[in-house]
Structures are given as C-alpha cells and as structure tokens.
Structure 1
Amino acid sequence: MIGAGPAGLAVAVGLRQYGLGVVVVEKEPGTKREVRASVVWQRALEVLRDFGCAERFLDRGLQLRQAEMYVRGRCVGRHPTTAAGTAFPQPLSIEQIAMESLLAERLAELGTGVRWSTEALGVRVRGEGAEVDVRGPGGQKETIACRWVIGCEGAHSLVRKTLGIGFEGERRTDLQAVQINAKAEWKYVCAPDTTYFFLEHRTCLIASPRPGGGYRFFCFRDDPEPQQEGPPGLEEMRALIARATHDPDLRLVPTVPPWFNRARFHDRLATSLRQGPALLVGDSAHLWAPVGGRGLNTGLRGAHNLVWKLAAVHHGWALDALLDTYSAEQRAIARDVMRQMRRNLLELPPSRLTLAGMRLLGPALLASEGFNRRGQALLSELPRTHRRSALSTDAAGYAGRRGLRAGDRVPDVPVSAGGRQRRLHDMLSYDRWTLLVDGAAEGTADAAALRRSAGRYALPVDVTAIRAGRGHGSVLAPGTMLLVRPDGHIGLRAAAADRAALEAYLQRWFVPKAGAGQ
C-alpha cells in the first residue's frame, strides 16, 4: 500500500479485517498536520462502521442537522441534512487531521503500523505480483515483494504513472477556493449543528461549524488573478467573508493549528483502476473540485468497494473477474459525482441570473418537502447504485419491477427475523454475503435448497429469512430473495423459489468448494 491518507488507511484497515498482511508506506513523517477535508456524509459513515471506527469518528465530530441559506444577505430558508434509512442520520463535521489519526489508530489495533518517512521510488508489476522499491527514513533502500500493490498516493500517483494508465480530464478555469478556520464575531447565531451558505455574485461562501470551535470558512469564487499563488491572508479572508455575509463589523480569530488555503482544480479520472495486481484508490484514481465535499467521501466508498473483492479473490473464494468490477463500478460512481457537482448551483460561484432566481424561488424550494427530500438524498449519497454493474442481476421476471433493484443499497429499516424486531443492517456484515429471503419461506424446502446451493461455494454467506416492517414492504417483496454483497448493495434479486438463478449467479463469480457437486 503506497500512501497513508484516509483512503489508503481505510483500505489497509479493511484488508487487515479480512486477515491479509499489509505493508503501508508513506513518505510523510506522520498523519496530516493540516486540517484539509472537513465533512463525512451518511454513506461514508456506514463505510466507517464496517471498518470498525464510526463510533470514534462520532465522538470527535459534530453532527450537522441543517443548512441555512442566504442570497445577497437575505435568508431564503433552511435545508435539513437529516436522512432516513440509516443508523447515521446526520453528516459529520470532522477534519482530515482527526480522520487520519483515528484510522491509523484502528489500523494499529489490527496489528499493523504505517512505515512513515518511507518513500516509494519505483514499482514493477511481474505476473501475479509486484515489487516496490522504497527509501526509508535513514536513506536506506529496499525492495518489498507483494501479491498486490495499491496506489493511494494522490494526484501524482507513482503506481498510475508507472503503469501508463491515463488520467483523463482537464483543468477547471475561473474557479478557485480560499479557506480559513476561524472563530467569528459576527451577527449570526453560532449553532454547532448548522452550516451557513452565503451567495453573492461570483462568490459562494460556506461556513461550517468545527469540532474545536469556530467555523471552516470555505469560499468558491472566480479567479481574476490565476497567477496569484500562496494562501490568502487574514485581511483578504475577512474582507471576502464580510462582503458575502453583509456584516462589515465581522472579526476573525484564526484557530490553532491555523488553516489558510488557496486551491485550484482539475477534474480527472483514471482510464482504469486496475491493471493486474495493481490497483488505484482515492485521488490516485479520480479527483475534482471539492464541490459538495465529495472527494474524500468517494475515496472512502472506493476503499469499501475494493477491499471485500480483493480479499475474496486473494483467499480463493471468487474468480478474478470479481475484482475487475471494482474498476467499472468506482469509475461509474466517480463520473456521476463529477457530473452532478459541475451542476451544483448552490456551491459554484453564481451568476447574477442565478442569484435572481435563487432569491425569487429559494423560499418556495426550501419549503418544499420534495425538494428537501431530493437534496437530502444527493447529499447523503445513500441512493447511489451499481445498477449498471455486471455484478448486478435482476433475474427473469424481476427486470423492470418496482422496489429495490439489483445494484441498489439496502436501506436500514425495521424488520422481523426469528420472531424478533431488528434493524436490517444488523442482519448484514462486511465480512460475508447475506441471502435475504421473504419470511414466508422460512423453514420451507425452498429455503433449505437455497442454503445448500450457497453452501457449495467458498464465499462466506448467511441465509436469513426476514419480514419488512410496516411501510417498508418494497425492501423485500413477498416471494422474493435478495443476495446482498458485503458492502450492502444487492447482487441478485430473484424469486425466493428460483434456485437456478442463485446457482447461475454464484457459478459466474465464485469458486466451488473442493468436492462440491454441481
């Protein structure tokens, strides 16, 4: 593993949970001293739960319940950020400096540390393995032989460049972001669960509360002086924030550690995230302007997608083709995020026409239940699917049916199992697949046959009969089974009696146990 940012550490944690030996090298001397990314959305919190560290993130962060919108100094309404169908209804304000520390702590609990101050110098892929040349903190060089090499080292990825993988895209023009962490003396209420949005011509200022007090002031604006380098000064930020908030008496006190930053962006996506035993994760695989705070969150989702597939192939449970679906699925997610964030009118620097429209229509939109529901879905990332993946199959008779489809994430809703009331996600686990069967099939010959079919293959799978709670019948319709992946997405949707569909799916992706009859 090359790189110990959040995505790299998450991959290492997940692989250790699956029992794989991991070596993590990082050229920096330790976890970040800069605060950097600052929000974890609901789907990424579910990812962190599967990696065993969501609770410690919640202990260090602030849960955000709403955003308050201002257009040219006028409040046009509030947007709730709470989402249903998850154990983590609110997004979390927590800075990257804390995220990396907590992930490194979790990795250490699993018996692996990071080799800090160790730089990767060269990568060679050879057959079913790789070699990585590194230079340690004392200047000593060595070569590490490995079965897999994973590049998590950012935009200038050595792994990606060595393999000649394209990094397609372009530079964003006339867009910059300037940031400061500061406590503010201003005319607005300092609410630790409320993020403020201030829209002015060619300026979108976001003020998000920080766990240590004060706010992260993050401003997307035009770029009249592209040659200007270096972070903004305190007076530049004070003047910008005062103008956007219509508060000329505003005072700022920078936090400790200080965080001033100016950034410009490229939108880029690797042409493939896998080449044999080499894989790309996080900014090594995709990057874009941090509109919506999607970069780190998408990287964590990629780690979550990759780990269980790599572990299944490594342990001999699955055919190699399963690992190829990581590249296809994660690239599709990245393309969707990139496209959506290019149309994000709430965060990109608005034109005069956009401002006029927001001022006129904003109050009605923000009072609309439908608009808020769509906004909550987009922010939380809970509805993102893998429906187009080769790994997603709706069996005969199920294509086009309403309700959850193959590729969808299973929501965390009340269910009944074995006479007990449970949450559905309590029935799932990141270390196995789960075959959910309509509760009416419990104890029947069909259920027994499904267990026998699943038991012929090497992958760990649990067969569970459930009944969805009132109002959630679309999760598992009567007479249906759902084969749920370790990451909570549906692999197969079929009739509960359709043993042939289950066997065809398992045979396509997985390895039979030794001596298992077909």
Structure 2
Amino acid sequence: MARPSCWSKEADMTSEEEPPAMVDVVVVGAGPTGLALAIGLRQYGLEVAVLEKADSGKRQARAGVVWQRALEVLDDLGCAERFLANGVALRTSELVVAGRSLGEVAMAAPGTRFPHPLCIEQDAMERLLGERLLEVGGKVEWSSEAVAVRVGAGAAEVDVRGPDGRQRTLRCAWVVGCEGAHSTVRKALGLPFEGGPRENLQVVQFNAIADWSYPARPGHTYMFLSHGISAGAAPRPGGGYRFYGFTADPDQRELTPPSLDEMSAFLARAAHDPSVKLSATDPLWTNRARFQDRFTRTLRSGRGLLAGDSAHVWAPVAAHGLNTALRGAHNLAWKLASVQLGWSEPELLDTYSSEQRLTALRVMRKTARDRMELPGTALTLLSMRLLGPRLLRSRRATDRIRSRLSDLDMHHRESALSVGERAGDRIPDLPVWTEGHWRPLHELLDYRHWTLLRVSGSALGDPHLARLLARYPLPIEVRAVEPAPGEERLLPPGALLLLRPDRHIALTARHPEEVAAYLGRWFRRT
C-alpha cells in the first residue's frame, strides 16, 4: 500500500520490507465513545480500524440516560431516530424529600428537535451504534486487543493480538484511546491520570418491577432524598424501572452486587415506603460501584488522542459521563477528519483537547455539588423542605434545572476557535425564513460541513462570498436566513454567523474581511 502524505521517515518504526496495513485512524475500544467517533470519521470518508478486546458488545445494561444535547449528537451521526424507537422519553421528574413530594419538573427543553431526555440502556446503545457503523462502511474487529502503541512524528503503530492469539501491526496516521480508565493508549502516550477515589460514596443499581405506593405514569421519574441516602427511579424500555442510589461508603467493603432484598430495603428507606416489593427484570441487572475522579492534563500527545473514560472519569451523578463522552467524540471526529483530509493544520486538534477537558471539568464540578442526587444532609433536607416547593413552581428555577440536565447550555466560549459575540455557544434550533418558507434552523446544518448564515440585511453579496470561500478546500454551505420575530438577539440582522459542524458558533462577524481572517487562521488555502 502506498504511504500517504502524512508518513515521515521518523515514523518508520519497524524494519520489515513491506510495511503493515495503513489506515487513517485506529480507534481502540468499541464502547459508545469509540463507535460514535468511528461513525463520525467514516462520514468524512476516513479509513478507520476499530479494535475491541472483548468478543462482542456489552451484554449488560450499564448507563441508562441520553440527554437532549447528546441526542443532537446522535442525530448528526445518523442514528437518533433509531434510539428514540428503542427508548422511553422522560417527560416529568418528581422530587420526594423524606417521604414528602415537593413537586415535579417537566423535562422538555426548548430550542431542539429532541425536547425530552431518553431512557435507553448501554447494551442497546452499542447495538444501535454498531448498526450505524456498518451502514457507513465501518466495522468492529472483535477479540482484537491493542497490546502496544508507538507514536512517531508522522504516524503511529498499534500491535494487535487477534482472536487466534497471533500478533500483527497496524500503521495509522492517528490513534485514539477510547478503551476506558485503564487505557493502553494513554499509558503509551505517557499521560498521567491525575486525581483519586471519590471518598465515602457508593452507588447501587438494580433493574426491577416495583410494587409500591408511587404510581406509574408514562415517562415519569422519581428522585428520593433522605438523610444519608438518595435514590432514583426511571422507567425502562423493557418495563419496570432502573433503580439507582447513592449512599455513604465508610468501610470500603468488597463490592458485591446488591441483592433483591437489599435493594428493596434501600429503596424503602430512601422513599419512606415500607411496603416496597421489588421483582427483578429478566435479564437481571444489578451493580455496586465506587468511583474515581481523574483527568489527563491534555487529551492529545502528537498523533495520539484520548476520548471518553480514557481521558476523564467521575462518579455517575446525574448520568452525564456517557453523554459527555459522546459529545467529545462528536467534537473530535470533524476536527480529526479536517486535519487528515488536509483542510487544516494539526493545531486544530489542540482545540479538541482544551474544549473537551474544560467541558468535562465543568460537568464534574457540577455533579460534585449536586444536591438533588447526592445523599442528603440534615441541612440539605431542611432547605429542600422549606424552599423546594417554591423553586419547583418557579419558571426561572425549573428552566435552570432543565438547562443544566440537558447539556444544551454547554459552550466553548473560552476556545481559541470562538471569535465574536456568543461565539462558542450552541446555536438553538430556531425557526428561520429561507428560500421562501419557514424551516427549523438545524435542518439547514450538516455534520459534514460548516455553515455560514447570512442574516437578513447582510451586505455581503453572493459573488464576493463565493470568491472568498473558494480559497479554501473546507466545505462551507452558505444560507441566507431571516429570524422569526423576537429571535433577533440570537440572529442579529446583518450578521454573518459561521457555524462549526457540531452546531457551535465559531464566528460572529459583520464584514467579509473578518470571515477571511478567521478561515485564514485555521485552514489551509487551496
């Protein structure tokens, strides 16, 4: 196979006459993060090898909620609809403190085609992502373990032990570790995993059908807070509930999954309902775990990158770990494709590292302060009883809860890629007038290209715009739009908004010279 232009003499790390197979990207790990990344890369036409040491996808339920922003990610990857068809839309959440219901919050968030979070378990997620990967021409190499990784100046090598025990070497332009907290790729890159255990916190999970005093309603979840304990119940696609809970863990006993009797007693205590009787679902899912809070200082070292749990882990408060990892894969895929296809310099990948690390740190800090799910203290319970009913009746407070949970407010304002007013923010799915009719703005976007919005009143004419954009191989679609009445703050008349493939605003400008300067900063000219 002819060596691509990325190959350099320094990358010749073996002495064989015929080099091993060469691909654009090796993705190590076929969990949701690795599969999502591979799908995104394949949508740009890159050759991707996905390695997984297990012999198949997950057979256990594991993670269970996909929030609204992650559903938009899945939409860009072409598989949101099949997720919706296999999950349960979560519509309301009720807060119960010390046995007393304080009210409920509607979960629907505005400004997106996916207003409700989705309950769907990880084994189903991986199956659906795997189906999509096959559709875009990719596949997973099962029972294939990355046993060594070497990164050179112009390429990388991955030694792979296959299902027959034999070892081969894959050469690639880039290698991405998506294989979890014990990442072989991270260790090969020499990146320390800083942090430590989350002290005195244990989580238990159990899928079950409940006979209890709390009524079942479609898409209705419960959150229970009591002294020293918390629990949640979310309806499952297969019937029954995913029950989960947090409690103190002072003695660090051996981690054995909770029994049906233990989980029934746990829930009875948290919900103040002694009548609780649980019966396990088939198949059974039960789990007990402790957690670490750990981060790498950077998610990139040369031609090696990290994503998901290989780069950051924390306790699963509010179920944002997998969602953050999916958004990271979404961030990385278009940037890695842009570099590999020759549209931009490798420096662009440093913005993935800085953006995703800051995003993950924000999520971890929010979950560390989460008073809705962490075990309740006496002060927390008192303040909840006094203020909770009022807060749950407040539009401002419930909007803030929805925004925090949905991840729709997550931004990249501090990024070097963000220039101008509101740059770095995710653009909401607003109604816009374009080509003679009203359309949702997100229908005009595509993950495989950038979009330049010419908002009504823009002085930039089409011929001049075409000449400007023709200087760059980067795919950019130009759309002339007018905002709906009342939305002028988000789409200012006369503005030029350059949108990244991942729906974040890159640049807000008024003049073509500003667009030219931005593109010249990050992208190669034709």
TM over 0.5, yes or no?
Answer: yes
Alpha-carbon distance in structure 2 between the residues aligned to 1:439 and 1:426: 18
1:107 equivalent to 2:148? Answer no
2:427 is matched with which residue? 410
1:43 equivalent to 2:58? Answer no
Within the candidate set 275, 280, 284, 1:254 is matched to 280
1:432 equivalent to 2:475? Answer no
Alpha-carbon distance in structure 1 between the residues aligned to 2:463 and 2:91: 45
Structure 2 unaligned residues grouped into runs of 5+: 1-26
1:453 equivalent to 2:468? Answer yes
SS for the counterpart of 2:103 is strand
Alpha-carbon distance in structure 2 between the residues aligned to 1:224 and 1:386: 38
**Residues 320-368 of structure 1 deviation map (CA, whole Å, 9 limit, x = unaligned):** 2111110010001011111111111001111011011111111001111
Q: 1:451 to 1:177 in 2, by over 3 A?
A: same
Q: How does 1:144-159 map to 2 (within 5 A)?
A: 144-159=170-185
SS for the counterpart of 2:474 is coil
**Residues 203-249 of structure 1 deviation map (CA, whole Å, 9 limit, x = unaligned):** 11001110000001100111133123211111111111111122212
1:181 equivalent to 2:211? Answer no
**Residues 62-90 of structure 1 deviation map (CA, whole Å, 9 limit, x = unaligned):** 00011001001000000111100000000
Amino acid across the alignment from 2:515: L
**Residues 182-223 of structure 1 deviation map (CA, whole Å, 9 limit, x = unaligned):** 001111111230110111101110011100000011001111
Alpha-carbon distance in structure 1 between the residues aligned to 2:495 and 2:463: 15
Q: Which runs of 4+ in 1 moved over 4 A?
A: none
Alpha-carbon distance in structure 2 between the residues aligned to 1:454 and 1:333: 31
SS for the counterpart of 2:48 is coil
2:60 is matched with which residue? 34
Q: How does 1:470-489 map to 2 (within 5 A)?
A: 470-489=485-504
Q: How does 1:347-358 map to 2 (within 5 A)?
A: 347-358=373-384
**Residues 257-311 of structure 1 deviation map (CA, whole Å, 9 limit, x = unaligned):** 1111111011111111111111101000111000111100000000000000000
Amino acid across the alignment from 2:448: D
Alpha-carbon distance in structure 2 between the residues aligned to 1:234 and 1:310: 46
Deviation at 1:138, TM superposition (A): 1.4
Within the candidate set 291, 307, 310, 2:333 is matched to 307
Structure 1 unaligned residues grouped into runs of 5+: 399-404, 514-518
Deviation at 1:445, TM superposition (A): 5.2
2:253 is matched with which residue? 227
Amino acid across the alignment from 2:55: P
1:52 is matched with which residue? 78
Alpha-carbon distance in structure 2 between the residues aligned to 1:100 and 1:263: 21
Amino acid across the alignment from 1:475: L
Paired residues of 2:204 and 2:286 also in contact (CA < 8 A): yes
2:148 is matched with which residue? 122
Alpha-carbon distance in structure 1 between the residues aligned to 2:227 and 2:465: 61
- TM value normalised by structure 2: 0.94
1:368 equivalent to 2:394? Answer yes
Note the aligned Cα RMSD (angstroms): 1.0
Alpha-carbon distance in structure 1 between the residues aligned to 2:321 and 2:218: 24
Paired residues of 1:2 and 1:150 also in contact (CA < 8 A): yes
Paired residues of 1:76 and 1:359 also in contact (CA < 8 A): yes
Paired residues of 2:460 and 2:512 also in contact (CA < 8 A): no
Alpha-carbon distance in structure 1 between the residues aligned to 2:272 and 2:516: 64
Alpha-carbon distance in structure 1 between the residues aligned to 2:463 and 2:290: 58
Alpha-carbon distance in structure 1 between the residues aligned to 2:449 and 2:194: 35
* Matched residues, number: 500
Alpha-carbon distance in structure 2 between the residues aligned to 1:361 and 1:475: 33
SS for the counterpart of 1:148 is strand
Alpha-carbon distance in structure 1 between the residues aligned to 2:404 and 2:460: 42
Deviation at 1:451, TM superposition (A): 2.8
Alpha-carbon distance in structure 1 between the residues aligned to 2:40 and 2:436: 33
1:502 is matched with which residue? 515
SS for the counterpart of 2:384 is helix
SS for the counterpart of 1:256 is coil
1:170 equivalent to 2:187? Answer no
Alpha-carbon distance in structure 1 between the residues aligned to 2:390 and 2:255: 41
2:19 is matched with which residue? none
Alpha-carbon distance in structure 2 between the residues aligned to 1:450 and 1:484: 16
Alpha-carbon distance in structure 1 between the residues aligned to 2:460 and 2:230: 61
1:98 equivalent to 2:124? Answer yes
Paired residues of 1:125 and 1:131 also in contact (CA < 8 A): yes
SS for the counterpart of 1:23 is strand
Amino acid across the alignment from 1:428: L
Alpha-carbon distance in structure 1 between the residues aligned to 2:122 and 2:218: 18
SS for the counterpart of 2:353 is helix
Alpha-carbon distance in structure 1 between the residues aligned to 2:460 and 2:228: 65
Q: How does 1:360-399 map to 2 (within 5 A)?
A: 360-394=386-420
Amino acid across the alignment from 1:438: V
Paired residues of 2:454 and 2:480 also in contact (CA < 8 A): yes
Paired residues of 1:417 and 1:439 also in contact (CA < 8 A): no
Q: 1:445 to 1:126 in 2, by over 3 A?
A: closer
Within the candidate set 312, 315, 323, 1:286 is matched to 312
Alpha-carbon distance in structure 2 between the residues aligned to 1:452 and 1:156: 49
2:15 is matched with which residue? none
Q: How does 1:55-74 map to 2 (within 5 A)?
A: 55-74=81-100
Alpha-carbon distance in structure 1 between the residues aligned to 2:184 and 2:516: 41
Deviation at 1:378, TM superposition (A): 0.3
Is the deviation greater in 468-477 or in 15-24?
468-477
Paired residues of 1:15 and 1:311 also in contact (CA < 8 A): yes
1:143 is matched with which residue? 169
Alpha-carbon distance in structure 2 between the residues aligned to 1:359 and 1:70: 10
Within the candidate set 355, 361, 365, 1:329 is matched to 355
1:266 is matched with which residue? 292
Paired residues of 1:291 and 1:348 also in contact (CA < 8 A): yes
Alpha-carbon distance in structure 1 between the residues aligned to 2:468 and 2:504: 21
Paired residues of 1:204 and 1:220 also in contact (CA < 8 A): yes
Alpha-carbon distance in structure 1 between the residues aligned to 2:471 and 2:300: 29
